[in-house]
Structure 1
Amino acid sequence: MQIALAGYDSLKARVLRNRVKIFDAGLVLIFLGVAALFAFEVDVFENEAGLPPRQQTIELDELLVLTTLTMCCVLFYTWRRARDHKRENAQRLAAEQEVLTLALQDPLTGLPNRRQFDEALTAALKVVPSAPEAHAIFMVDLNGFKKINDVHGHPVGDEVLIHVGARLLRAVRENDLVARLGGDEFAVIARNVVGAEGASTIARRIVENLGPPVAINGVGHPVGAGVGIALSPHDGLTAIELLRKADVALYRAKAERSTGIRFFEPEMDARLHERDALERALRDAVESDSFVIRFQPTSLIGGDGIAGFEASPRLTHPVLGEIEPERFLPIAEETGLLGALTEQSLRKACAAAASWPPTVRLSFNLPGPLLLDAGFGPRILAVAAETGLAPARLDVEIDEGALMREAEAASKLLTPLRSAGVSIVADHFGTGYSDLKNLHRLKLDRVKIDGSFISAMGHDRQAAVMVRALIGIGQGLDLEVIADGVVTEEQRTTLSLQGCGQGQGALYGGQVSAEEAAALVRPDAGGAIVTAG
């Protein structure tokens, strides 16, 4: 604030003071001019020159006129200086108020900023509400805002934030405080709500108000939001504790995306600590390149030959043990480690597969977010060349839903891979609402039917119909069909009769190490290997 006021003094006030000096000089000149005029009117100079000192006199009326003029000038000058002083004080007070406003207000949305929010929350917590009432703290974070900034630019993102702020104000009660804490993160203080039900009502209104797309220049931008809620005094009595717990609840709401609303629960703390441990282990593993690769065999549906192995990374932790990718891949995406993790894991898998017989294929999962990284395709080919694995022996599996969502980016990334001989597989086939146009456009080589359909087809007629339809689509598009999650002989027999080519699951073998995979495909191991053609 002091710096801002100094800037104000050095600019506006300096100009004002210069104007005052000029005006003061003008007043002096006017006064001197009036005095000179008066002197000439009464022949002061002639009288002074022609009379001896004792006879130098001025008429009383002339003295009265001179005194009156002098008093008028003095009074006018005094009035003007008082007016200027009052104006300077008013301008200074306005400047101080403006600086105070800037210190407590978000300049983009006009909402209170973090500083004002913290002060308001601290003040609210000084009064403990009587049961069943509580003070509710809401943390609100937008969905997909980064994509809006990246695709449409920050000016559009700023407009979206302004609209979001206005919608939040409409969603809450008149006396509730809505603040923008930074980026796309907002917070709300609602005093004296009627327990969790009252807080839930406000949270639902927030989600409903942020649901419709925000229209900017005729283009709708979907936002939506996750809301985390902490209640005082139930969840804490200090601002720091309540904000942390509301943030933990927000993290869970964003992860689940079911209703977008979560209240803080004590077990969330334990899960948050576990997540922190996973993140630290993940960073250490990327830095030291210490991921472990597991391989699961894929066999002909009849079970008489190993066609290949699907590789997946594992994270080892001294307390949590061996951790499957479903638990740490979302963290890798959030922390920006997904690309490095995937490349390191692919390199280890390719190095292991290079020693297998040439007819045994390696299948590797490419996480959906990496479809947007145009440079990752060449990196896959570089890793294959570096490890000596022929691209024609490599299958890249991609979640069907990700392929459909990012069809344009997927086509650009996969085209050079396909040209080099890499096969493209749609994983979790049947769950991504594919359309035949995109399936044809992406030029897939294989589809892998999701295991949920395989496990249900024995007792769920619709699942059985779905499996037949998916196999038929694959055959109609001349794609090899793989069934995931095959665990019983009955499932294998049914799939074989329907024309499914390969199977994967507990019936054919579980996850094995690189050494065990190599042993399974050694010519002297006694196991059958699928031959080319």
Structure 2
Amino acid sequence: METAPATLGVFALGLASLLALIAWLHRMTLRLEIAQDQTTYLSLHDPLTGIANRALFESRLNEAMAYQYLAPTKVALVSIDLDGFKEVNDTLGHAAGDDLIRQVARRLAFALPEEATLARVGGDEFALVQPGMISEGQARWICEGLIRALHDPFVLGGETVEVTASFGVSLEDGREVTAAEMFRRADVALYAAKAEGRNRLKLYDPQMDASRREKRMLEIDLRNALITGAGLFVLYQPIFSARTGAIVGAEALVRWKHPQRGLLSPDKFIALAEETGIINQLGEWVLEQACRTAVESDLLWIAVNISPVQMRHQAFGSRVSDVLNKTGLPAKRLELEITEGVLLQHSPQIEITLARLQEMGIRIALDDFGTGYSSISYLRTYNIDKLKIDQSFTRLMGSDEVTRTIVQSVIQMADALGIDVTAEGVEDESQRLMLAKLGCTQLQGFLLSRPVTAEKLTELLLQQRAAA
């Protein structure tokens, strides 16, 4: 009888231990389930934005394509790519770039239809799948809502940034194409949207494939031309003093004689070069050719057009310096022509590049002045050395009083700021006389000289010196 309490005590202790073990096992099971849930979640969602990743997106796309509706429907796959995301990273840093991606994801997710799935499938690339689509108009309506969601500026580290996106849409019957083909078609449409100027929506059309193949072939040919030097050449349009009529400089103009397509106008390949990044290599080649011609012909100065893509490149200033050292042309004899759009980007990298070029002694000319924003403030802020009046103004000033007044105002403003003015597109004597009378500094156009080869330019300069 005396051992009963001890036995009961041992039993109670054993039961307590068993219950504690059961509780511990329960906690461990819950933790394991939570960990497994977290692992599953992380494997299917983008860690930066919390939206679906490519794996989950592809699963949802396959489900949408296999689902059978009572009425005939299609599946919409939308490829979305931010315009100018690289510039945000380059100018504000990667932390700002990540913040932008998060903010864009939130805005897009908020604007989504209930049945849609949004995913981040790349650095600044998103994709959307929407089942049960009954018309092309419905797909456009959804995408236009997403475009509006990105309309307001983003605030990144105290900086206000405007960001747009391009949209490519593949609208297909899920029984007729594969998921991979839907992705491809959406990407083709996205490429077409970017090629047309970005910040827009394009639906896939079979003709886009032919256009893309043609561009790809042209891109390969242009790369080969830069490697071999075959077909590419530079012409030079002399620029004349409005007061004396003497050649004071020239503008370098790149041309390409394609082996099959013949002579291509610059608009056929310059935009392509900018889209593909070839413009950096092409621009450097043109710059070197122009600088050599200026040295060999003893031209006072040479002007070279610079793409906005080149200006955004961090190493552009160094590359210009290398070309000057290689060719022996003094920096003060080089003039780089940029467009107003370059300044309107308000890019810190572009500001740094412009400052470095001017420190070297290179002159900066603003091309096609009057066709864009035409702000006096950035003429002073960036210390622009020259304005080039667009040929559309030159053409109309003889017949339109308002245009003539605008040209006169530009010349007077430039004179007050100590800036030279070149009028482009001078094609008849009345235009030449009028511009000279208004005080224009320099003239350029077919009346005075068409673009010529380097040899012809040297000949013209020798004739001018002999006459003098």
Name the TM-score, length of structure 1 as normaliser: 0.75
Number of residue pairs matched by the alignment: 467
Amino acid at match of 1:312: L
Label 1:148 to 1:502 Cα distance change in 2 as closer, same or farther (>3 A). closer
Corresponding residue for 1:502? Answer: 442
Residue 343 in structure 1 maps to residue 284 in structure 2: yes
Residue 293 in structure 1 maps to residue 228 in structure 2: no
Amino acid at match of 1:169: A
Label 1:257 to 1:461 Cα distance change in 2 as closer, same or farther (>3 A). farther
Q: CA deviation at 1:123?
A: 1.9
CA distance in 1, matches of 2:74, 2:48: 31
CA distance in 1, matches of 2:323, 2:254: 16
Contact 2:73 2:133 in 1 (8 A): yes
Q: Give 3-state SS (helix, strand or coil) of 1:229's partner.
A: strand
Q: CA deviation at 1:263?
A: 1.8
Contact 1:407 1:442 in 2 (8 A): no
Contact 2:165 2:198 in 1 (8 A): no
CA distance in 2, matches of 1:259, 1:410: 22
Alignment of 1:203-218 (within 5 A): 203-216=143-156
Corresponding residue for 1:474? Answer: 414
Corresponding residue for 2:173? Answer: 233
Alignment of 1:272-283 (within 5 A): 272-283=212-223
Q: Give 3-state SS (helix, strand or coil) of 1:424's partner.
A: strand
Amino acid at match of 1:387: T
Label 1:441 to 1:140 Cα distance change in 2 as closer, same or farther (>3 A). closer
Corresponding residue for 2:112? Answer: 172
Q: CA deviation at 1:531?
A: 9.0
Alignment of 1:351-370 (within 5 A): 351-356=292-297, 358-370=298-310
Amino acid at match of 1:174: E
Alignment of 1:101-180 (within 5 A): 101-127=41-67, 133-180=73-120
CA RMSD of aligned residues (A): 3.7
Residue 311 in structure 1 maps to residue 249 in structure 2: no
Q: CA deviation at 1:132?
A: 7.4
Q: Give 3-state SS (helix, strand or coil) of 2:163's partner.
A: coil
Label 1:121 to 1:516 Cα distance change in 2 as closer, same or farther (>3 A). farther
1:356-385 superposed Cα distances (whole Å, 9 cap, x missing partner): 1x3553211232344445654454344234
Q: Give 3-state SS (helix, strand or coil) of 2:212's partner.
A: helix
Larger radius of gyration: 1
Q: CA deviation at 1:520?
A: 3.9
- Structure 2: gaps of 5 or more residues: none
Counting aligned pairs with the same residue, the percent is 34
Amino acid at match of 1:347: E
1:498-533 superposed Cα distances (whole Å, 9 cap, x missing partner): 33343323333434333343344443xxxx46999x
Name the TM-score, length of structure 2 as normaliser: 0.84
Amino acid at match of 1:126: A
Q: CA deviation at 1:334?
A: 4.9
Q: Give 3-state SS (helix, strand or coil) of 1:182's partner.
A: coil
CA distance in 2, matches of 1:507, 1:158: 54
Q: Give 3-state SS (helix, strand or coil) of 2:37's partner.
A: helix
Residue 483 in structure 1 maps to residue 426 in structure 2: no
Contact 2:75 2:174 in 1 (8 A): no
Q: Give 3-state SS (helix, strand or coil) of 1:354's partner.
A: helix
Q: CA deviation at 1:449?
A: 0.7
The one of 182, 189, 201 aligned to 1:242: 182
Corresponding residue for 1:428? Answer: 368
Q: CA deviation at 1:130?
A: 7.9
The one of 158, 167, 188 aligned to 2:128: 188
1:126-174 superposed Cα distances (whole Å, 9 cap, x missing partner): 2476887432221122233333333433333333322222211221211
Q: Give 3-state SS (helix, strand or coil) of 1:397's partner.
A: strand
Amino acid at match of 1:342: G
Alignment of 1:510-525 (within 5 A): 510-523=450-463
- Structure 1: gaps of 5 or more residues: 1-37, 43-61
Corresponding residue for 1:445? Answer: 385
Label 1:91 to 1:235 Cα distance change in 2 as closer, same or farther (>3 A). closer
Q: CA deviation at 1:206?
A: 0.4
